């Protein structure tokens, strides 16, 4: 029986089976030793190597178990790297909770944007109205005053006082009428009320003024010690001071957009030449005005 093996030249295989290329010698051994031939029957020939392994063996390289393990490890690493690359490139799937929170965030952003836009539009509208109408505060002005009579005794009592005071309510708005209400003024001497000046509600046309002429009459007002001392000094100097204090409610409309309301307050001192003609000093005329906060 003749055994045939693949004919490839490998130093490793030739080292383990030196008799593969000596066919005549094998036949001679078979004739001389039949038992050896029976042993060869049980001998399994070397397995065919895959083409890749054969090419490696043919080129003179030896493949060991460590190299195979290293190759399998590298292949596993390559497979894991490929799977990681595929997982990285796969778009993430957002859970439903994150999607709901994202919708809420977008709704808040849109709401804030609308509010900011409304505030900007309102501010621009107010600024445009201000430029068009140029609103100004109505106010009170003392245009003239005169102390006609003053009777005072040494006991500190003002027996009789008469004065003429002209107060003008002015409206300098060129495009809006103004109203004055709750006018309440007080004429005082050194903190003591001498007379009260009031007026019913009235209107003042745009860019105009309305005069309020008060004929003030007071009698029987008693002064304190300090007031008596100041009155004696004033009569001797020929100048009697009287204080005018009070306030009024003003209201005017700016087009069709808004109605403005403010309190205007007045506080000033008027100096009268008395004894004398009783006129007020020129420095106090047209300078005693009210102010709005």
Do 164 and 282 have their domain in common?
A: yes
pLDDT at position 252? 87
Q: Give me 193's structure tokens.
A: 């009320």
Number of domains in the chain: 3
Do 146 and 236 have their domain in common?
A: yes
Q: Say if 5 falls within a structural domain.
A: no
Q: Give me 252's structure tokens.
A: 């005017």
pLDDT at position 199? 94
Q: Say if 4 falls within a structural domain.
A: no
Contact 116, 269 (CB under 8 A): no
Residue 270 and residue 290: Cα distance in Å, rounded?
14
Q: At what angle do helices 34-42 and 23-32 cross, to 10 degrees?
A: 120
Q: Say if 250 falls within a structural domain.
A: yes
Do 57 and 108 have their domain in common?
A: no
pLDDT at position 20? 44
pLDDT at position 131? 72
Residues 46-99: pLDDT tens digits?
Answer: 555 554 444 433 344 444 444 444 555 545 555 555 555 455 555 565 555 556
Q: What's the full length of the chain, in residues?
A: 293
Residues 84-108: pLDDT tens digits?
Answer: 545 555 556 555 555 667 888 888 8
Contact 245, 188 (CB under 8 A): yes
pLDDT at position 237? 94
Q: Say if 92 falls within a structural domain.
A: no
pLDDT at position 210? 94
Contact 178, 138 (CB under 8 A): yes
Burial of 63 (0-12, 13-18, 19+ CB in 10 A): middle
Q: Say if 93 falls within a structural domain.
A: no
Q: Which residues of the chain have pLDDT under 70?
A: 1-100, 133, 255-257, 293
Q: Give me 140's structure tokens.
A: 């009170």
Q: Say if 62 falls within a structural domain.
A: yes
φ, ψ dihedrals at 256, nearest 5°: -105, 10
Do 83 and 29 have their domain in common?
A: yes
Do 224 and 129 have their domain in common?
A: no
pLDDT at position 254? 74
Do 177 and 267 have their domain in common?
A: yes
Do 27 and 124 have their domain in common?
A: no
Do 144 and 129 have their domain in common?
A: no
φ, ψ dihedrals at 191, nearest 5°: 85, -10
Residue 6: its H or E element: none
Contact 167, 214 (CB under 8 A): yes
pLDDT at position 64? 47
Do 123 and 68 have their domain in common?
A: no
Q: Which residues contact 1 (CB under 8 A, 6 or more apart)?
A: 30, 37, 41
Residue 267 and residue 275: Cα distance in Å, rounded?
25
Supply the CATH number for residue 195's domain: 2.60.40
pLDDT at position 100? 65
Contact 182, 249 (CB under 8 A): yes
Cβ burial 230-247 (10 Å sphere, 16+ → b, else e): bbeebeeeeebbbbbebb
Do 256 and 193 have their domain in common?
A: yes
Kindly write down the DSSP assignment for every residue of 111-152, as one continuous string: HHHHHHHHHHHHHHHHHHHHHHH-----EEEEEEEEEEEEEE
Do 56 and 119 have their domain in common?
A: no
Residue 268: beta bridge partners? 244
Q: Say if 124 falls within a structural domain.
A: yes
Do 271 and 205 have their domain in common?
A: yes
pLDDT, the chain, mean: 76
Domain hosting 147: range is 139-291
pLDDT at position 164? 96
Q: Which pTM was predicted?
A: 0.56
């Amino acid at each position: 029986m003749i055994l045939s093996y693949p004919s490839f030249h490998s130093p490793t295989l030739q080292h383990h089976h030196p008799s593969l290329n000596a066919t005549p010698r094998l036949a001679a051994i078979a004739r001389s030793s039949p038992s050896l031939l029976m042993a060869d029957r049980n001998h399994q020939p070397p397995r065919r190597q895959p083409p890749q392994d054969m090419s490696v063996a043919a080129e003179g390289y030896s493949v060991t178990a460590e190299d195979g393990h290293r190759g399998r490890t590298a292949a596993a690493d390559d497979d894991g790297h490929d799977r990681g690359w595929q997982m990285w490139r796969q778009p993430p799937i957002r859970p439903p909770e994150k999607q709901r929170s994202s919708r809420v965030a977008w709704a808040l952003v849109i709401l804030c944007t609308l509010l900011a836009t409304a505030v900007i539009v309102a501010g621009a509208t107010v600024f445009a109205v201000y430029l068009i109408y140029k609103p100004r505060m109505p106010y009170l002005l003392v245009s003239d005053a005169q102390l006609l009579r003053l009777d005072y005794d040494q006991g500190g009592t003002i027996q009789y006082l008469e004065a003429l005071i002209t107060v003008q309510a002015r409206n300098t708005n060129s495009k809006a009428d103004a109203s004055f209400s709750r006018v309440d003024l007080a004429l005082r001497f050194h903190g003591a009320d001498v007379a009260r000046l009031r007026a019913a509600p009235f209107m003042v046309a745009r860019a105009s003024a309305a005069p309020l002429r008060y004929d003030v009459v007071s009698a029987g007002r008693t002064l304190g010690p300090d007031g008596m001392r100041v009155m004696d000094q004033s009569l001797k100097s020929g100048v009697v001071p009287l204080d005018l204090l009070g306030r009024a409610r003003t209201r005017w409309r700016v087009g069709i957009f808004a109605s403005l309301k403010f309190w205007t307050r007045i506080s000033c001192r008027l100096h009268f030449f008395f004894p004398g003609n009783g006129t007020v000093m020129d420095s106090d005329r047209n300078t005693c005005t009210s102010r709005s906060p």
